[in-house]
Amino acid sequence: MRRPPIHSRSASRLATGGQAAAPEADPPAPAQESGAANGLPSNGVPNGLPSNGSSPAPEAHPARQATVDRALKSWGLWHADAPHAAALRWLSLAVLLLGLTVIGLLADRLRPQPAPLTEKAVERLITRSLQTQVLPSQAARAAALVAPSVVHVGSYGRAGRGRVPEELAEGTGVVLQDSGVVLTNWHVVQDADSIRLTFADGTESLATVRRKSPEKDIAVLQALRVPDDLVAATLGSPDQLQLGDQVVVVGFPFGIGPSVSAGVVSGKDRVYHSRAARQQLERLIQFDAAANPGNSGGPLVNAAGEVVGIVTAILNPTQNGTFLGIGFATPIDEAASAAGQAPF
């Protein structure tokens, strides 16, 4: 039997100086493609891109895509395995938005337009408002108009040492001029040593007699202190009064006030002998609005709030000083003329 040849290692040791020869290195691996050295896959295409070189489809927003999917599912238009599901979703969303836009436009067109505001429509609205609101009466409106011009008049005697002046009489006045000129009855102040006025705003002032006409029972007073916002009364023509016309009396009966009473014109051109004025008065206006001591010198007012007379006397056969339904007023034109002022 033939033996394999035995190779001697001595020759190699001799060639290397007695040391073992180093093993031969493995042959180098075949070089990979240049793309691997650049961080690319072996096929040379970046990760995430298809091998055919086409761009990837953009990813839809998850929340928005879920909303669209739910809408399509509810309509039966969504199939997960449909080849064109994404396109169908976006098309359905576009149709939905278009439908909503059309509905909004139609709703705006079909909305009822307001009718144009005409003069007749305004009149109907005003009439309806007046029918549903409770307006103040004529007497209330007239009293409110004259109230800022009504004054309380107090007449006082001479004060002794350490004594308060005694009030001799009290009545009512009406502001004739905003400079502090006040019209009242002469019999209210004829015995006074001092006169004190109280205006509507509470201002108090001493006053002097500026002018008097005893035959008309009229006195003109001048306030020494005048409120800044003093309002003069508006005067009206007594000739325009008719029997039955509504009138208002404003004053301080028995010192209470200002008080308002309403009535009508009962007569004109009346003649009355006044005990308080101590003479006969003529051309008086008769009225039935309540008047009592303290109303003397106050205004008789028509429905428009204009002063048409100065309350002068009441007819009282019983002598007890109370009102029995007949009062008299001096026409304002005569009262103003006696005061030296044209009434109109």
Q: Could you tell me if residue 33 is inside a domain? A: no
Question: Among the options 149, 187, 205, 274, which is catalytic?
Answer: 187
Beta bridge partner(s), residue 153: 171, 197
- Give the range among 51-65, 91-105, 155-169, 202-216 with minimum mean pLDDT: 51-65
Q: Could you tell me if residue 197 is inside a domain? A: yes
CATH no. for residue 318? 2.40.10.120
Which pLDDT does position 20 carry in this prediction? Answer: 44
Q: Could you tell me if residue 245 is inside a domain? A: yes
Average pLDDT, the chain: 79
Of 342 and 223, the one with more pLDDT: 223
Based on the residue annotation, tell me whether 296 is a catalytic residue of this protein. Answer: yes
Q: Could you tell me if residue 9 is inside a domain? A: no
The pair of structure tokens assigned to 232 is 């003069």
pLDDT digits (tens, 9 = 90+) for 252-279: 999 998 999 999 999 999 998 877 667 7
Question: Among the options 217, 259, 266, 274, which is catalytic?
Answer: 217
Based on the residue annotation, tell me whether 81 is a catalytic residue of this protein. Answer: no
Q: Could you tell me if residue 223 is inside a domain? A: yes
pLDDT digits (tens, 9 = 90+) for 312-339: 998 876 666 667 789 999 999 999 887 7
Q: Could you tell me if residue 54 is inside a domain? A: no
Of 187 and 48, the one with more pLDDT: 187
Of 304 and 19, the one with more pLDDT: 304
Question: Among the options 266, 274, 296, 333, which is catalytic?
Answer: 296
Place of tokens 């549903």: 132
pTM of the model: 0.61
Of 113 and 263, the one with more pLDDT: 263
Q: Could you tell me if residue 119 is inside a domain? A: no
- The DSSP result for 208-252, as a single string, is EEEEEEGGGTEEEEEESS--TT--PPPB--GGG--TT-EEEEEE-
Q: Could you tell me if residue 148 is inside a domain? A: yes
Domain of 253? Answer: 143-338
Q: How far apart are CA 59 and CA 82, in angstroms?
A: 17
What are the two backbone dihedrals, phi and then psi, of residue 272, each rounded to the nearest 5 degrees?
Answer: -145, 135
Residue 153 in contact with residue 179, Cβ under 8 Å? no
Domain count, the chain: 1
